[in-house]
Amino acid sequence: MGNLVAIVGRPNVGKSTLFNRLTETRQAIISDEAGTTRDRQYGRCLWCGKEFSLVDTGGWVVNSDDVFEEAIREQVLMAMDEADVVLFVVDALNGLTDLDDEIAAMLRRSKKPVLVVANKVDTYEMQYGAAEFYSLGLGDMYCISAANGSGTGDLLDVIVSKFTKEADEAPEDNIPRFAVVGRPNAGKSSIINVFLGEERNIVTNIAGTTRDSILTRYTKFGFDFYLVDTAGIRKKSKVSEDIEYYSVLRSIRAIENSDVCILMIDATRGIESQDLNIFSLVQRNQKGLVVVVNKWDLVEDKSEKVMKFFENAIRERVAPFVDFPIIFTSAVTKQRVFKVLEMAKEVYMHSKTKVSTAKFNEEMLPIIEAYPPPSIKGKYIKIKYCMQLPEKRVPTFLFFANLPQYVREPYKRFLENKIRERWNFSGVPINIFIRQK
């Protein structure tokens, strides 16, 4: 599995600023008020060719003092359990607090590598004041300023050096892995039980029964793959139990470690923002996708027209990526359940499609000639040659142009659509790069 780094610390020490700095995004909202971060932020970092996941654990905290410390304690325990490296952020501006001491006492028991990160060391002189954090008993500390970025490079070097396991150690590499993901109570466990033909998972009507991911080798009916069931991803407002946080982390890991994600949607609820979040996670990790509308037996009108309407609604919500199969199933009546596996296998095969360079040029160049990229500032963009990159997990196509920087997003999407019309990449993301010829 990929490496996971968790950021912990009391409120308002700059965890979110550090998160944004390391992921090079502005995902987490920053303000001077304690407890701004309400939901856990998740992002990917790349440093020295190593990629890892970063989780900002803030935002647990309900605004009352007793719950406050309890919540922080929970989140630290959680990070100690799940993460490979824990970043303990302290505030050099305000100095040590009792809460820092408490967190440190927990982290000292941890078997995981813990790095003390003294934040808000904005000038060189402030480093001397930060020495008091040695009293936490967690070894060296790293003085950084998340706001202006000083010291973060050295910190990343240390983080990367602490990783013990290599990323992606699959049990067997050439066997596809399908992850079943979706909101709690969409019927993930039920459908897995139908696949496996045994009551492997406990199924109840209570959302969030399944707590952890289970990896199962499946070899029936000529299939051979690993099935990953995940605990549900649950709406933020419902995160009262911390088991939830767990399941979100687990689902993230399951998505990262799969080849094709089977996204379950509850037909009785329709597509909700929660489903879109999971969808964007799948997309951000560039995985194959099969959408399964479950509980179809509970829908009164099952006509073609309703199916069409449902399909269009889903595709509209998740545009621009709309080229993926949608299957209507019922885990209870077992209707079309095995079609899901067939589709997942097909999508996996699509991701392995290789188009020969000669054929690709022969098909694509006439299209590009007929519809060249729009000229910008009077400059004409010419694309004379294109090819598929071999050995990529996601089908990746290169187009060589004289002015690659002028080719805009809509034109890339046009190229992608043309590729999809000619070759079957249903359910698979496609990367398109324009390079200097």
Q: Is the pLDDT of residue 156 over 70?
A: yes
> Using one digit for the tens of pLDDT, what is the confidence trace for 97-128?
888 888 888 888 888 888 999 988 888 878 88
Q: What is the mean pLDDT of residues 255-272?
A: 83
Highest mean pLDDT among 64-78, 164-178, 404-418: 404-418
- d(Cα 201, Cα 188) in Å, to the nearest integer? 10
Q: Is the pLDDT of residue 53 over 50?
A: yes
- d(Cα 436, Cα 415) in Å, to the nearest integer? 17
DSSP 229-250: E-PPP--GGGTTSTHHHHHHHH
4, 257 contact by CB (below 8 A): no
- Residue 171's pLDDT is 45
pTM for this structure? Answer: 0.61
Q: What is the mean pLDDT of residues 267-271?
A: 81
Highest mean pLDDT among 124-128, 195-199, 299-303: 124-128
- d(Cα 379, Cα 392) in Å, to the nearest integer? 33
Backbone angles phi, psi at 430, to 5 degrees: -125, 135
C-alpha of 357 from chain center: 32
- Residue 170's pLDDT is 43
**What is the total residue count of the chain?**
437
Please name the residue that has the structure tokens 């700059």: 14
- d(Cα 112, Cα 133) in Å, to the nearest integer? 19
SS3 86: strand
Q: Is the pLDDT of residue 221 over 70?
A: no
Dmax (CA) of the chain: 72
Q: What is the mean pLDDT of residues 228-238?
A: 53
β-pairing verdict for 114-119 and 141-143:
parallel
Local confidence band at 64 (pLDDT 50, 70, 90 cut-offs)? very low
- pLDDT greater at residue 393 or residue 30: 393
Structure tokens at 337: 């359940």
Please name the residue that has the structure tokens 């970025």: 149
Q: How far is CA 369 from CA 247, 312, 380, 408, 413, in A?
A: 50, 32, 12, 17, 16
Please name the residue that has the structure tokens 């699959």: 170
- pLDDT greater at residue 45 or residue 71: 45
139, 102 contact by CB (below 8 A): no
Local confidence band at 31 (pLDDT 50, 70, 90 cut-offs)? low
- Residue 216's pLDDT is 65
- d(Cα 349, Cα 342) in Å, to the nearest integer? 11
- Residue 92's pLDDT is 87
Structure tokens at 319: 């545009």
- How many Cα atoms sit within 13 Å of 58 on the Cβ side? 23
- Residue 7 makes CB contacts below 8 A (sequence gap 6+) with 15, 18, 19, 54, 55, 56, 57, 58, 87, 89
> In the chain, how many H helices and how many E strands?
12, 15
Instruction: Please tell me what DSSP assigns to residue 385.
Output: E
Q: Is the pLDDT of residue 253 over 80?
A: no
54, 5 contact by CB (below 8 A): yes
- Residue 72's pLDDT is 67
- Cross-strand bridge partners of residue 44: 53
Q: Is the pLDDT of residue 374 over 60?
A: yes
Least confident of 108-112, 205-209, 274-278: 205-209
- Cross-strand bridge partners of residue 288: 260
- How many Cα atoms sit within 13 Å of 55 on the Cβ side? 27
Q: What is the mean pLDDT of the chain?
A: 77
Q: What is the mean pLDDT of residues 401-410?
A: 85
- Residue 341's pLDDT is 83
- pLDDT greater at residue 160 or residue 35: 160
Q: Is the pLDDT of residue 38 over 60?
A: no
User: What share of the chain in percent tops pLDDT 70?
Assistant: 77
Q: What is the mean pLDDT of residues 146-168?
A: 80
Local confidence band at 201 (pLDDT 50, 70, 90 cut-offs)? very low
Please name which of 429, 385, 377, 384 lies closest in space to residue 405, comparing C-alpha atoms. 377
Q: What is the mean pLDDT of residues 225-242?
A: 55
Say how many C-beta atoms besides its own lie within 10 A of residue 43's C-beta: 18
- pLDDT greater at residue 29 or residue 397: 397
Q: What is the mean pLDDT of residues 320-337?
A: 82
Which helix H or strand E contains 18, and what residues bound it? Answer: helix 15-23
- Residue 149's pLDDT is 84
